A = this chain, B = another copy of it.
Amino acid sequence: MLSNAAQYAIRSILYLALYSSATQRIRTKKISQDLEVPQPFLAKLLQRLGGADLVSSSKGPNGGFYLNKTNRNKTVWDIIVTVDGTEKFNQCFLGLHTCSDNNPCPVHFNVSPFKQIIKKDFKGKTIAQFSEEIKKRGTVLSLKDFDALHK
């Protein structure tokens, strides 16, 4: 449903929402370590996200990535659209080239409602709202600590 790149992008942006600010920028190295994502790949990805105004950055000493006001008002759906485009997400579960209630495949009515709900959620909540929820509910962006504890 989502490419690796899109997954990395979502997790990185939520990470930045939680831990960065205009004065507290974060280097790709730190992000990649904390999220267990390959660093050069992440760098290229964040660069793309910067172009789409989903993240902000500054170069030089104390430079790094962060989210400004505009960035925080984007949605998870915006990230998906930028990285993967909409097609992959809207596709039929069994690969028919259009997914619709008119010509439904045998699993359409099992799968489609679920996709609608998720999509609505991704479109409706801002990154800022998402990060509030994360703080409140204690969900995680990485299993690094968990892994460290159990090895």
A-side residues, CB < 8 A to B, are 1-2, 4, 7-8, 10-11, 14, 93-98, 103-108, 110-111, 114, 117-118, 121, 130, 133-134, 137, 139-143, 146
Contact = CB atoms under 8 A, between A and B. Distances in A.
Number of identical monomers bound together in the oligomeric complex: 2
Nearest 9 CB-CB pairings of A with B? A7-B95, A114-B114, A106-B139, A7-B94, A104-B139, A1-B1, A106-B134, A103-B140, A96-B143
Given A96-B143, A139-B104, A121 B110 contact: yes
B143 A95 contact: no
Contact of A140 (B104, B134, B137): B104
Which of A94, A103, A142 has most chain B Cβ within 10 Å?
A: A94
B2 A96 contact: no
Contact of A110 (B106, B110, B118, B142): B118
Nearest to A37: B95
Given A11-B95, A14-B106, A105-B141, 19 more contacts: A1-B1, A2-B93, A2-B95, A7-B93, A7-B94, A8-B95, A10-B94, A96-B142, A96-B143, A103-B140, A103-B146, A104-B140, A106-B130, A106-B137, A106-B139, A106-B141, A107-B118, A114-B114, A114-B118
A104 B134 CA distance: 10
